[in-house]
Amino acid sequence: MRKIAILALAALLIPQVVLCWGRLGHRTIAEIAERNLTPKAKANIEKYTGGTPLWKYSLFVDEYRNHPDYKEALDGFHASIADCDCTSPQIVRDRYRGGKDGVTAMYTFRDQLKNYKNLPDSVVLFGIKCITHIVADFNCPSHVRYVDNLNKGGFVAIFNGKKVGVHRFWDTWLIESLQKQRGQKINHMLYADHLNTLSKKEIKKVTKGWAQEWFEDAARSCRPVIYWIDDRKIEIINQEFVNKAAPLVESQMQKAGYQMAAALNEIFGK
């Protein structure tokens, strides 16, 4: 059965851009971030973006991942790795991903961009585009990897009568199906209204620390998912599964938005 499922998945894997969180998810997270920038950070960022909203950059890393000019520079940004205790120190990131992961990239950008006033505009804009993606990716359940379980969701399930790779379920289908369920087709602005609701105290809690701590929190929150996925009974993803997955996914989107703002505020708020 498993073999058949894997073969079926291979057939589904036609070359196309894989969008962690999908367009709606990425744009929503970046919009939440934009709404939580300090006035100073926003003004400094706009010197490089010309006022283009962050959501417009949020898919750059996915869209250019195979572009010859960017492939090398963007390599590994889409996933991050934790050990089975959900910690992600540099030694784990180096050992299991050769330091090519979202968390490590965030430290590299922070180090580089703290001198942003002395860098070429194109370099600063590239960093902004990457940050508006990476923080979202490392909060996505299917992009949190564990040394004892890669959690790639690499098998097929049936969802709403259609075959779907479980990875894609997390990335796109769940968010889309939630909108349908709620009887509304909302865009990222409305979705950001819906999720940009944490209190100051809650924001302080979810933005405590920096990329490693944020990712470790995501790793702890998403860890149960690997057992849902490993449970062969969920070859059909049913309403019960969606009900269980929805609050987790929306909470991760929320955290990602506030953490993205915190990262940009720290770098550009000075």
Interface with Zn ion by CB under 5 A: which residues? 20, 62, 78, 137
- Residue among 19 and 192 whose Cβ is closer to Zn ion: 19
Min dist CB 179 to Zn ion, Å, is 21
Min dist CB 214 to Zn ion, Å, is 16
DSSP E strand stretches across the chain: 80-82, 144-146, 156-159, 162-165, 236-237
- In the block, which residue shows the tokens 């417009």? 56
CA-nearest of 146, 136, 142 to 157 is 142
Min dist CB 107 to Zn ion, Å, is 18
- Residue among 5 and 20 whose Cβ is closer to Zn ion: 20
- Residue among 59 and 198 whose Cβ is closer to Zn ion: 59
Shortest-Cβ-distance residue relative to Zn ion: 78
- Residue among 42 and 133 whose Cβ is closer to Zn ion: 133
Min dist CB 140 to Zn ion, Å, is 8
Residue 162 φ/ψ, nearest 5 degrees:
-115, 150
- Which H/E stretch holds residue 14? none
The structure tokens listed for 182 are 């709620």
Min dist CB 20 to Zn ion, Å, is 4
- Residue among 77 and 191 whose Cβ is closer to Zn ion: 77
Distance from CA of residue 11 to its chain's centroid?
26
- List Cα–Cα distances, 53 to 111, 126, 203, in angstroms: 24, 14, 22
